[in-house]
Amino acid sequence: MKIKWPFLVSMILLTVFLVGCEPLTVLDPKGPMAARQASDIMLSIGIMAVVVIVVLVILVYILVKYRASKQPYDYEPPHVEANIWVEVICIGIPILIVAYLSFVSVQSNYIVESAPTGYEDKEPLVVYASTSDWKWHFSYPEQGIETVNYLYIPTDRPLEFRLYSYGPITSFWIPQLGGQKYAMADMVTTLHLAADVPGEYIGRNANFSGKGFAENIFNVTAMSQQEFDEWVKEVYETAKPLTESTFNKLLEPGHLGQMTFTGTHLEFSPAPEHNHDSVTDEAEHDEQSRNESNEESDHSGH
């Protein structure tokens, strides 16, 4: 009885804990990229489950078959030589599993890094997603508007997010639309997504970036293209223009609510979309220095 009660209490506490867990949004995809990744996750879980079940069955079989028995004191078990087929199975099956999962992973990487399947012929909506401590700035250059800590997107249209950071490295992640990608200072990374289903989703920074990391989240609303266009018109009717001084204040560390502006910070603080090759940068720098020195010589000659 003393053993049963702790066991029952542990099971009850475990049940209560699991009931309080949030649903796995990565397994509830609302876009083609997330659907591909959810499929890969379920494939991996299925393969691992088969391996675990087979190993447990073999374990039970071995324990039963070779359990202790009442043999004479001088009994000697038969000498068994190595079995080549057992070794082939024990080594070959893990190699095949790893090779297959590697092939699927590489194939999926190419798929999620390109335009979403079924959207290849559609013009993407380009959104510059930049982050600062601890907030998200979304610039819509085509629409000429900017939002803070919330994102409106149209469904049935490819999305091209251009990511960068005004502070430490962060990670842009909308679990129900696709995988995460890092946003870094002094460079731009591109993430392709699409939303098939209208709805409300949660996005967040998936990379620890200081004490405000836990609340570095943003809301995502997917809607029809018509509703998206109406929202853009409403922004121009109600929102104030974004100035450089206002944007500089937004970059200061801290948390903010949702904000909306006309215009984008790209006009006075453009994204760092330049060449990062060290050799090229050095050559360009040398050429610029030579041009400046030549100009100075010409002026001094005159």
Q: Which residues, other chains included, contact 29 with Cβ-Cβ below 8 Å and sequence gap of 6+?
A: 35, 37, 38, 176, 177
| Count of CB atoms situated within 10 Å of the CB of 217 | 16
Please state the domain extents for the chain: 26-65+81-113, 125-267
Query: In this structure, are residues 62 and 233 in contact, taking their beta carbons and an 8 Å threshold?
Result: no
Residue 152: closest CA among 242, 76, 235, 73:
235
Per residue, what are the HEC states of the chain? CCCHHHHHHHHHHHHHHHHCCCCCHHHCCCCHHHHHHHHHHHHHHHHHHHHHHHHHHHHHHHHHHCCCCCCCCCCCCCCCCCCHHHHHHHHHHHHHHHHHHHHHHHHHHHHHHCCCCCCCCCCCEEEEEEEECCEEEEEECCCCEEEECEEEEECCCCEEEEEEECCCCEEEECCCCCCCEEECCCCCEEEEECCCCCEEEEEEECCCCCCCHHHCEEEEEEECHHHHHHHHHHHHHHCEECCHHHHHHHCCCCCCCCEEEECCHHHCCCCCCCCCCHHHHHHHHHHHHHHHHHHHHHHHHC
Please give the Cα distance from 141 to 269 (Å, whole number).
13
- CA triple 128-133-134, angle to 5 deg: 80
Topology, domain 125-267: Immunoglobulin-like (2.60.40)
Place of tokens 């006009």: 267
Query: Torsion-angle region of residue 58: left (phi > 0), alpha (psi -120 to 50) or beta?
Result: alpha
Global pTM reads 0.78
Q: What is the pLDDT along the chain (302 residues), one digit of tens a residue?
A: 455 667 677 777 766 666 556 667 888 999 999 999 999 999 999 999 999 999 999 999 989 888 877 778 788 877 877 788 888 988 999 999 999 999 999 999 999 999 898 888 899 999 999 999 999 999 999 999 999 999 999 999 999 999 999 999 999 999 999 999 999 999 999 999 999 999 999 999 999 988 888 889 999 999 999 999 999 999 999 999 999 999 999 999 999 999 999 999 999 999 998 644 433 444 444 555 555 555 555 544 44
For position 19, what pLDDT does the model report? 59
Query: Torsion-angle region of residue 144: left (phi > 0), alpha (psi -120 to 50) or beta?
Result: left
Place of tokens 């801290």: 254
Q: What is the dihedral of CA 251, 255, 258, 261, to 10 degrees?
A: -20
Please give the Cα distance from 204 to 139 (Å, whole number).
17
Write the pLDDT tens digit of every residue in 257-272. 999 999 999 999 999 9
